[in-house]
Chains A and B, each alone.
Chain A
């Protein structure tokens, strides 16, 4: 599979504090890459550099490059809004807008204003179907998205991302606030989605990483310690620290 996205020598600073050091990583098309590591090691920070969400935090600085289809998304002439439309994001806490289910999903297309010929109704239905939520909400499209269960809310957020037709989907611990059944649903959904999208998931849960991903990167204190095929990382880690983490000796 081709390389969809990659970072080279990426470093990131919150003020004086360095949160990422020299991270170089490749993400392959139509595959799922899992990022694991102990809390505070910089996984979320790294993920947010991939769709420039860190831009919204004041006093931050970035070095290195992030390439999307070989274009540096931090190039001076790069368009942040266009980047974010191509690289969708699902957050740790489900965060549907306090709007109806329909308006949540329609939000992205409305903002970009280019629903080429396809009606908004179709986009919404298609996205909800793709997020495996349609059957559950088709009769309550105009009820608030906030009345759904946590798992449904998270799938609504996924549907909302799908509606903007991204190429890459970033997921930051998307199941950490969900119960096991809802988690399972999302994991199944990811397997569906990977046929079409490049998916990068941050997870705290090593079983989840092992179950869903083809590739795994292990972060420690802002550095990428090890990267490889998921099975290899979990069965035969090259680095002592990786081994220590996945066998549960720290983290």
Chain B
């Protein structure tokens, strides 16, 4: 009887927690949409999404340059951080001697805790001047991608390493005993077996990348112009909101919330792509 009660109670507590979390999320989403909606109505969705001029003072609100800015930096960080992160994860999980890993892994984990403004400042002091050597002002998509890659890497590394490490030894033994070399085993058995965890790592990294704000503001230049090269400055959707929300009022404020709605939709789209990819990968074998 007693046990039955605790059981029931746990059931309801868990349910309540889930409900409260969902409710909070829903309220945030509803509030954002509600605040953003007037902007869509007054500016027009098409004009808002495809416009390339953003001059709140003049009542012009087009965020295409920022949508592209966000997509470029996120994809750029994805393309750089995936091979680097998985490579480091392989190194930590499969190659590095025990003691080396014992030092490296906590260091990598420590990087996760560094506030993003610090990444931004370091990026501004070191990465921006470095990129300037290649061309342009240095405040650029490229600088943002580099900083973002550094920020996303710890996530990609630690989660990939965990999933590589959790691949059962018996698979590796099976491969080695069939005459596979150590690297063949890593490539053809360990990595595929860890794939689902690696995709999770990359998706989480991507989530962090597209949501990153402060560090981006410091290095990307925040200019509102169509970027045509990785050396051009750009503005991200998050940066747009963060830089202007303090001052915004009226339709300007609505437009910033609408920017948030677009970001929201973009994140859902990216996550869906990742989800479908993972689903397909799992069915493939």
Binding site for B on A (CB under 8 A): 51, 53, 56, 81-82, 84-85, 88-89, 91, 93, 95-100, 103, 107-108, 110-112, 144, 157, 160-161, 164
A97 near B193: Cβ-Cβ < 8 Å: yes
Smallest Cβ-Cβ distance to A99: which chain B residue: B285
B170 near A93: Cβ-Cβ < 8 Å: yes
Interface assignment of B166: CB less than 8 Å from any CB of chain A:
no
Cα-based distance from A51 to B174 in the complex (angstroms): 12
Q: Which chain B residues in 162-208 approach chain A with CB under 8 Å?
A: 168, 170-181, 184, 188-189, 192-193
Contacts of A56 in B (CB 8 A): 172-173, 176
A-B contacts at CB below 8 angstroms, number = 68
Smallest Cβ-Cβ distance to A56: which chain B residue: B176
Cα-based distance from A84 to B176 in the complex (angstroms): 8
Smallest Cβ-Cβ distance to B185: which chain A residue: A111
B171 near A97: Cβ-Cβ < 8 Å: yes
A53-B173, A91-B170 known; A99-B178 Cβ under 8 A:
no
Cα-based distance from A82 to B181 in the complex (angstroms): 10
Smallest Cβ-Cβ distance to A58: which chain B residue: B98
Number of chain B residues whose Cβ lies closer than 8 Å to a Cβ of chain A: 19
> 15 interchain pairs (CB within 8 A)?
A56-B172, A56-B176, A85-B178, A91-B170, A91-B174, A95-B171, A97-B174, A98-B171, A98-B192, A100-B285, A107-B178, A107-B180, A108-B180, A161-B177, A164-B178
Distance from B231 Cβ to chain A, minimum over Cβ atoms (Å): 43
A112 near B285: Cβ-Cβ < 8 Å: no
Cα-based distance from A53 to B170 in the complex (angstroms): 12
Distance from A212 Cβ to chain B, minimum over Cβ atoms (Å): 21
B179 near A112: Cβ-Cβ < 8 Å: yes
Distance from B178 Cβ to chain A, minimum over Cβ atoms (Å): 4
Smallest Cβ-Cβ distance to B177: which chain A residue: A89
Contacts of B188 in A (CB 8 A): 107, 110-111
Contacts of A108 in B (CB 8 A): 178-180
Distance from B3 Cβ to chain A, minimum over Cβ atoms (Å): 35
Distance from A191 Cβ to chain B, minimum over Cβ atoms (Å): 23
A91-B173, A97-B174 known; A85-B179 Cβ under 8 A:
yes
Binding site for A on B (CB under 8 A): 168, 170-181, 184, 188-189, 192-193, 285
A84 near B177: Cβ-Cβ < 8 Å: yes
Cα-based distance from A88 to B184 in the complex (angstroms): 17
A98-B285, A99-B192 known; A157-B179 Cβ under 8 A:
no
Contacts of B171 in A (CB 8 A): 95, 97-98
Contacts of A97 in B (CB 8 A): 171, 174-175, 189, 193
Cα-based distance from A162 to B197 in the complex (angstroms): 32
**Which residue of B172, B174, B176, B192 has the most chain A CB atoms within 10 A of its CB atom?**
B174
Cα-based distance from A108 to B189 in the complex (angstroms): 12
Contacts of B173 in A (CB 8 A): 53, 56, 91, 95
A91-B170, A95-B170 known; A53-B177 Cβ under 8 A:
yes
Distance from B97 Cβ to chain A, minimum over Cβ atoms (Å): 9
A111 near B174: Cβ-Cβ < 8 Å: no
If A51-B177, A84-B176 are given as contacts, then 17 extra A-B residue pairs at C-beta distance below 8 Å, sorted by A number, are A56-B173, A88-B177, A95-B171, A95-B173, A97-B174, A97-B189, A98-B171, A98-B193, A100-B285, A107-B178, A110-B188, A111-B179, A112-B179, A144-B285, A157-B174, A161-B178, A164-B178
Contacts of A107 in B (CB 8 A): 175, 178, 180, 188
Distance from B22 Cβ to chain A, minimum over Cβ atoms (Å): 34
Smallest Cβ-Cβ distance to A145: which chain B residue: B285
Contacts of B193 in A (CB 8 A): 97-98
Cα-based distance from A17 to B188 in the complex (angstroms): 34
B174 near A95: Cβ-Cβ < 8 Å: yes
Cα-based distance from A194 to B175 in the complex (angstroms): 23
Smallest Cβ-Cβ distance to A87: which chain B residue: B177
Contacts of B181 in A (CB 8 A): 81, 111
B170 near A88: Cβ-Cβ < 8 Å: no
Distance from A232 Cβ to chain B, minimum over Cβ atoms (Å): 32
Cα-based distance from A85 to B184 in the complex (angstroms): 14
Q: Indicate which residue in B168, B170, B184, B192 contacts A111 across the interface (CB closer than 8 Å).
A: B184
Cα-based distance from A91 to B178 in the complex (angstroms): 12
Contacts of B285 in A (CB 8 A): 98-100, 103, 144
Smallest Cβ-Cβ distance to A53: which chain B residue: B177
**Which residue of A51, A100, A111 has the most chain B CB atoms within 10 A of its CB atom?**
A111
Contacts of B170 in A (CB 8 A): 91, 93, 95
A81 near B179: Cβ-Cβ < 8 Å: yes
